[in-house]
Structure 1
Amino acid sequence: MSIGFLVRLKPRGSVIGLQDHRAAAPEYLWEQIGTNISVGTDSPGKLTLFPGDRGFLIGSLYHRHGPAEPVSTFPTDEMDKIWATRGQHLVESYWGCYVAVIIVGSSVFVLRDPSGALPCYFSASAGIATLASEPRNLAKVGLLTSGIDCVRLGRALLLGGLPEQRTALSDVQELLPGMCLTIEGALLSTSSRWDPWHFAANDAGRSFDEHAERLRRAIEACVGGWSKQFDKPLLSISGGLDSSIVGACMKKFRREFACITMTTDDPMGDESTYSRQLSEHIGKNLFDERFLLDDVSLDRSSVSHMPKPFGRLDANAFDAAVARIAKQEGADAIFTGNGGDNVFFMSRSARPLADRYLKEGVSPGIFATARDIHRLTGAGIFHVFAQGFRAWRNSTRSYEWRTEATLLSRDIIAAAKEGGVHHPWLCPSDKGGLPGKAAHIAMLVRMHYSLSAYSKRDGIPVIHPLASQPILECCLQIPTWQQCNGGIDRSVARNAFSAMLPPTLIARRVKGSPHGFSFQIFARYREEIRERLLDGYLANNGILERRDVERMFLPNRKINVGEITRLLMLVDAEAWTRHWQSNLVSSAPAS
């Protein structure tokens, strides 16, 4: 969601002057909290001040139970609970898209909601802690002076966008979703306030149908809550399950919205038949737009606003088309089904078999799940059991994050791997987590970068309702073997909305792809991509292996879709480095 903010916190005994911040961000409305905290935002309607200078919340908030109505004030007893629990009451009794700052004595607690829908970055200098919605806001107050961290940049390219506290900008750290930043004087520390394993371990023995009903109610409540925030949203659809579910729920709660779908010249990227079925079913106008090469520029990164790169050049064409229609139609938000595959656990592995064995032991259900995985993947039944056994054998280990080392230099790979791969959600506290649930949680971690990267398009907020906290918690409680019930992926979600969507959309199993457009980009810019990757920032700083890059461009060499995807990601990263080299500013230390 697109809410700009900048927060400055100073130790007690010193006073922050608002005039300095107004000069740095004159487009923001500024508020002073006591004598030591000031907050500026471009969305003053989303700023809730806590009484008695106890802090504030920026973003959107809803009650956990009852109608999903926006919360803008707190009764005294609720405020006391929020303050006494240092914000934990917000996580347990509310949901939304927010960053909360709670002041308790000389300590400050900064809490980011578990969905990660509202980005939050921080930096500390000369005893002043600064929070911001985007790294560029930190630059406005002179905090980005150390430049790009090449090792962290290489690590971002190696780890595929794994969210980490440290970023590729040396002065910028990210407060991860569900985490709390504690500020005590000049000391800063982080701790987890929301643990997905708490929900993954608690399925309460519900049946498949009971889980489907709970999921339908949770999604309807969340989509309904988000729909009430906007007057005229635009829904991006593909005719796939996830965006169709969002469309069906929006139809129930909204009278006015339109749909948009994107099409390539390649039949693989033409999903308009399914998109038309959805738009006709929900009775909404559909804009069928095409990916255009003129919307692609090698000079413009799709994630230039982020503190590390992991975007794709072709995303600019999607963003440009959607933003054009949104502005043409006067849309005040863009809704998507993004994150659905991750939240609903779209998997083709044998891990659910290991999960069921760990939960039930040898039972008739084991053989039923093996048959489901066989139907889903086409793998032989003995292979399914062998892979399930392998997953069970590795169940005491932490989840092994996938890396992508293609075209990176050996030196940068070695440096980037130092310290290992850590994320607070990837390792269950009891060291005995279910391997299928570990993969599910890793999928939730993986989606956070893209949700943060695409929180707005050309200034228009983008809403990803399927990533809302109640939906995450509901899906985490669904056993992984139920998610592939009957040999069908995302089976619980399909069942939950079978009465609200056409059978052809519920049954659709094949996804479209814009890969054809990626080939068009590569064909037009082939030589320029080669030049930038062989003599750009990444190569000149030892991040790329030049010889491997050169081999990609040998005459008559056939290139596959995976290689083109990697090259477009790397040239997007090259544009990211150019953006930050030109925008990192040096200034006197902030006062």
Structure 2
Amino acid sequence: MPSCLALIWDPADPDAAAAASDIDRCVRRGAPEAARHAVSAGCVLHDLTSGTTGRHVLSIPAGEVSGAVFGRLFRRACARIPVPPLAILDQEAGRRIASSRGASLMTDYWGAYLAFLACSDGTVVLTEPTSSIPCFYCQTRGVTLVFSHLEVCPLPDWIRFDPDLDFIANLLAYDKIQPGQSGLRGVRELAGGCRLHVSGGRVRKEALWDPRQVARNALEPAPEEAAACLRETTSCVVRTWGQACPHLALNLSGGLDSAIVAACLMQEPGALDMRAVHFILRGGDPPEAAQARAVARDLGIELAECLIDPADPLPPPDCHPLSARPFREFLGRRADAERRQALGLAGRTVFTGQGGDHLFLETRDPLIFADYLRRHGPGRRAAHELLAAARLSGESVWHVLAESLSHLVAGPRETAAIRSIRERQTGLNRLTHERLDASDLLPVWACVPEGLPPAKFAQVSGLAHMIQIRESLALPGTDETVHPLISQPLVELCLQLPAYLLCHGGRGRGLVRQAFAGRLPDQIRLRRSKGDASRFYTEQLKANRDLLADTLMNGALVANGLIDRADVEAALRPGSYGVDTFGRMILVCYVIEAWLGRRTRRNAAP
């Protein structure tokens, strides 16, 4: 997993310079193989990625302004042609990046990166819009630390982090919130598409990329042209990632999105060393193996299969990395790596089809008709679009018409993102919900539509969840994960296409289904059902009940009054944890408890 740490300080401040020197020495002792890059007299960047020799850092030459890009950077080009990651930036490109204070990175390039620019009035840090690489920052003794993965940063003992219990309480409501905080007091998260300006020990941040602004610049070609554009852009970003990571293992779920990724990669089969793997969840859920096999057979991909038993033990609570916040992937990441190693897939970049539901728009929202009326009014195609919205939602045309007109007359209601948080209330997190304002947990663009029509805004607000799909833990022995669909050019195209066009023909993801006609088996391309793992998780809870009960009932969450011991007992009572009102929330609590308990014990140690 690409990981980095940057130190930023004022070289004219002797105390800050001494602190930066001490931190720098500690990092070099603790990570002797890390590549160190001096960005300026007051900024140094450490590439902490396991096993690298600095291949993740690209210098920005710009005369008086110096800088570096950490990660992978691709130049925007023709949507049909995949491009290799940039190995060098010329002086002209560097000057353009510098003169825009990094903003041109988001218009002229895309990828997975953090950027650092040393300017005359301070240092600028930028995150790319999809936030593929996490970015956290804090300040101590005049030094600003910017890091992707705290768990791999070898810092001196005098830097201590205390848990932020208010943030932890909010995580119990929804563990993928993005309020700009972290699980540690004084540590902030820089969201995707933002710029942080550090000068004289002060920081200021601003948003450069707003998905609502992208969506307002709508494109509405004819369905056939839109399908071709969507297919070409999808193929381009997936194949670009394939060129950057040619030794890969694709998670082939049997669903539409991973099948689309497979079809794009197999356009140039000789250029890749690719295998696919399908994980079979025991527990009684409908199997997806037949669909995965059909895709692999049709595309000529070697497919490995791996059984996962719900009775497998959960990772011990004291194994959660000392990261900046709890992450749900703690539950299965190490076990996943061990399974891949047993299948001979270790060392390969993991590719997934994650993000497709959000971008290609898997929805049953009748308000796609309201979107159409907002854009076109009651024209000659209105009846056709009304029928399509009824087909999509499974409601009568009268219901769709009433809902759409009500929305157009009465205006915006509670947003889908906020409603989904409110609906997550269970017996376990009721204490949090009693004082919660859900709008504080999400970026403003996920809460305020700013004139977007309702179905398009629902898609925009859903990006807040999609972005948190990223792999956020740097664990030893695990391979890098890439979600090629969550790439800026494809994200922006899907935001620009109207919701009713993405749902062409009254089908969720209808446009992309049309786009890949003839490239995928119809049993995959046209299927509407989705895989379900609810029985697997119920059996997993049953098998690990004693561990869950002991950890939660005697842990830091109860000790700090964030959950109630009696609520834990009720949630783990036989017959309760298979019910939706508790469901996987128990596992989320376990992850948060594992992180908080370990961080608390670490801070109590002498």
TM-score normalised over the length of structure 1: 0.91
Shift of 1:300: 4.5
Alpha-carbon separation, structure 2, partners of 1:211 and 1:153 = 43
Matches within 5 A, 1:311-390: 311=328, 315-316=332-333, 319-320=336-337, 323-325=340-342, 328-390=344-406
The question of whether the paired residues in 2 share the 8 Å contact of 1:61 and 1:95 is answered with: yes
Q: Which deviates the most, 283-292 or 414-423? A: 414-423
RMSD after superposition: 2.7
Q: Which deviates the most, 293-302 or 482-491? A: 293-302
Matches within 5 A, 1:32-71: 32-41=38-47, 42=49, 43=52, 44-51=54-61, 52=63, 54-66=66-78, 67=81, 68-71=83-86
Shift of 1:485: 2.0
SS in 1 for 2:583: helix
Q: Which amino acid is 2:39 matched to? A: I
Q: 1:257 aligns with which of 274, 281, 304?
A: 274
Alpha-carbon separation, structure 2, partners of 1:362 and 1:86 = 45
Shift of 1:236: 0.3
Shift of 1:109: 1.0
User: 1:175-224 CA distances to partner (integer Å, 9 max, x unpaired)?
Assistant: 11111111121111111111212221122331222221111111111111
Shift of 1:24: 3.8
Match of 2:125 in 1: 110
Match of 1:6 in 2: 5
Alpha-carbon separation, structure 2, partners of 1:457 and 1:222 = 28
Shift of 1:568: 1.8
Match of 2:231 in 1: 216
> Is 1:80 matched up with 2:95?
yes
Shift of 1:554: 4.0
Match of 1:274 in 2: 291
Alpha-carbon separation, structure 2, partners of 1:296 and 1:394 = 51
The question of whether the paired residues in 1 share the 8 Å contact of 2:220 and 2:498 is answered with: no
Alpha carbons of structure 1 residues 261 and 548: separation in structure 2 relative to 1, 3 Å? same
Alpha-carbon separation, structure 1, partners of 2:244 and 2:92 = 26
Shift of 1:444: 1.2
The question of whether the paired residues in 1 share the 8 Å contact of 2:427 and 2:581 is answered with: no
SS in 2 for 1:467: coil
Alpha carbons of structure 1 residues 36 and 398: separation in structure 2 relative to 1, 3 Å? farther
User: 1:453-500 CA distances to partner (integer Å, 9 max, x unpaired)?
Assistant: 378784310010000000001100111011222221101111111121
Alpha-carbon separation, structure 2, partners of 1:447 and 1:305 = 24
Match of 2:433 in 1: 413
The question of whether the paired residues in 2 share the 8 Å contact of 1:269 and 1:516 is answered with: no
Alpha-carbon separation, structure 1, partners of 2:581 and 2:251 = 25
The question of whether the paired residues in 2 share the 8 Å contact of 1:7 and 1:37 is answered with: yes
Shift of 1:146: 3.7
The question of whether the paired residues in 1 share the 8 Å contact of 2:446 and 2:462 is answered with: no
Alpha-carbon separation, structure 1, partners of 2:229 and 2:212 = 19
> Is 1:433 matched up with 2:452?
yes
Shift of 1:545: 3.3
Alpha-carbon separation, structure 1, partners of 2:279 and 2:5 = 35
SS in 2 for 1:466: coil
Matches within 5 A, 1:163-312: 163-255=178-270, 256-293=273-310, 295-300=312-317, 304=321, 306-309=323-326, 311=328
Q: Which deviates the most, 81-90 or 62-71? A: 62-71
Alpha-carbon separation, structure 1, partners of 2:329 and 2:436 = 21
Q: Which deviates the most, 17-26 or 182-191? A: 17-26
SS in 2 for 1:489: coil
Alpha carbons of structure 1 residues 264 and 408: separation in structure 2 relative to 1, 3 Å? closer
Alpha-carbon separation, structure 1, partners of 2:475 and 2:268 = 23
Alpha carbons of structure 1 residues 284 and 325: separation in structure 2 relative to 1, 3 Å? farther
Match of 1:25 in 2: 31
Alpha-carbon separation, structure 2, partners of 1:24 and 1:394 = 60
Alpha-carbon separation, structure 1, partners of 2:518 and 2:473 = 31
Q: Which amino acid is 2:33 matched to? A: E
User: 1:325-361 CA distances to partner (integer Å, 9 max, x unpaired)?
Assistant: 56x2354301000111111121111221221121112
The question of whether the paired residues in 1 share the 8 Å contact of 2:137 and 2:147 is answered with: yes
User: 1:224-253 CA distances to partner (integer Å, 9 max, x unpaired)?
Assistant: 111112232000011211000100011113
User: 1:429-461 CA distances to partner (integer Å, 9 max, x unpaired)?
Assistant: 8x3221112111111111112214378784310
Alpha carbons of structure 1 residues 317 and 493: separation in structure 2 relative to 1, 3 Å? farther
SS in 2 for 1:59: strand
Alpha carbons of structure 1 residues 88 and 278: separation in structure 2 relative to 1, 3 Å? same
Alpha carbons of structure 1 residues 416 and 114: separation in structure 2 relative to 1, 3 Å? same
Alpha carbons of structure 1 residues 143 and 71: separation in structure 2 relative to 1, 3 Å? farther
Alpha carbons of structure 1 residues 273 and 226: separation in structure 2 relative to 1, 3 Å? same
Alpha-carbon separation, structure 1, partners of 2:513 and 2:340 = 30
The question of whether the paired residues in 1 share the 8 Å contact of 2:428 and 2:582 is answered with: no
The question of whether the paired residues in 2 share the 8 Å contact of 1:61 and 1:71 is answered with: yes
The question of whether the paired residues in 1 share the 8 Å contact of 2:352 and 2:484 is answered with: yes
Shift of 1:571: 1.7
Shift of 1:324: 2.6
Alpha carbons of structure 1 residues 416 and 585: separation in structure 2 relative to 1, 3 Å? farther
Structure 1: segments with no counterpart, 5+ residues: none
Alpha carbons of structure 1 residues 394 and 569: separation in structure 2 relative to 1, 3 Å? farther
The question of whether the paired residues in 2 share the 8 Å contact of 1:223 and 1:249 is answered with: yes
Shift of 1:427: 5.0
Structure 2: segments with no counterpart, 5+ residues: none
Q: 1:128 aligns with which of 133, 143, 148?
A: 143
Shift of 1:320: 4.1
Alpha carbons of structure 1 residues 273 and 22: separation in structure 2 relative to 1, 3 Å? same
Q: Which amino acid is 1:106 matched to? A: D
Q: Which deviates the most, 55-64 or 415-424? A: 415-424
Alpha-carbon separation, structure 1, partners of 2:211 and 2:260 = 23
Matches within 5 A, 1:566-581: 566-581=585-600
Q: Which amino acid is 1:11 matched to? A: D
Alpha-carbon separation, structure 2, partners of 1:345 and 1:204 = 16
Q: Which deviates the most, 240-249 or 568-577? A: 568-577
TM-score normalised over the length of structure 2: 0.89
Q: Which amino acid is 1:275 matched to? A: A
Q: Which amino acid is 1:62 matched to? A: F
Alpha-carbon separation, structure 1, partners of 2:413 and 2:476 = 40
Alpha carbons of structure 1 residues 265 and 332: separation in structure 2 relative to 1, 3 Å? closer
Alpha carbons of structure 1 residues 160 and 350: separation in structure 2 relative to 1, 3 Å? farther
Q: 2:545 aligns with which of 506, 526, 544?
A: 526
Match of 1:483 in 2: 502
Match of 2:524 in 1: 505
Match of 2:467 in 1: 448
> Is 1:473 matched up with 2:473?
no
User: 1:264-292 CA distances to partner (integer Å, 9 max, x unpaired)?
Assistant: 22453521000001111111111111113
Alpha-carbon separation, structure 2, partners of 1:570 and 1:558 = 13
Alpha carbons of structure 1 residues 447 and 482: separation in structure 2 relative to 1, 3 Å? same
